[in-house]
Amino acid sequence: MGTKGMEKATFGAGCFWGVGGAVVEPPYRQVCTDTTGHAEVVQLCYDPAKVSYDRLLDGFFANHDPTTLNRQGPDSGSQYRSVVFAQSPDQDAKARAKLETLQKAKRFRRPTIEPFGNFCRAEEYHQRYFDKNGLASCHVTLPEP
């Protein structure tokens, strides 16, 4: 997974795209047709000695609305679904346990947990999108432990 000791986590909360789907390296316009099976995601490398996967899950659930089906704000379609792409059996188990806890509290019903398939980087014009378009940045934070 790259640097020794580092792991990857992949979450779909409606902001970026690139995981899953039947089309290899699809252009963004094709993803927007809602026919490729891809999801807009963020993939990050993290050091589990510094931040736990459980804490990343807490941040994922705290920073978007996982109660709407295939929608985040004005964006709709399956590419905007709330999804955790588990990259290992351990991530899958932790994500399912977290979701079960939240569902018992009647907080979230829509997120899915899917096995990680492949990741393709968004096209260059989507990289640093906010900077390139003079927009405010996306606000993502980890909740206090």
pLDDT at 137: 55
pLDDT at 21: 56
Alpha carbon distance, N-terminus to C-terminus of the chain: 26
For the 7-132 domain, the top CATH level (class) is: alpha beta
Report d(CA 19, CA 103) in Å as an integer. 25
Measuring CA to CA, how many Å separate 81 from each of 49, 53, 125, 136?
A: 30, 20, 22, 23
Phi and psi, residue 81, nearest 5°? -65, 155
pLDDT at 22: 59
Q: Is 122 exposed, middle or buried (0-12, 13-18, 19+ CB in 10 A)?
A: middle
pLDDT at 17: 40
Write out the catalytic residue numbers.
15
Tokens of 89: 């059996």
What H or E segment, with its residue span, contains residue 82? Answer: none
- Where do the structural domains in the chain lie, given as residue ranges? 7-132
Grouped pLDDT means (10 residues each) for the chain, 145 residues: 78 58 69 74 88 91 74 71 89 92 73 78 68 64 61
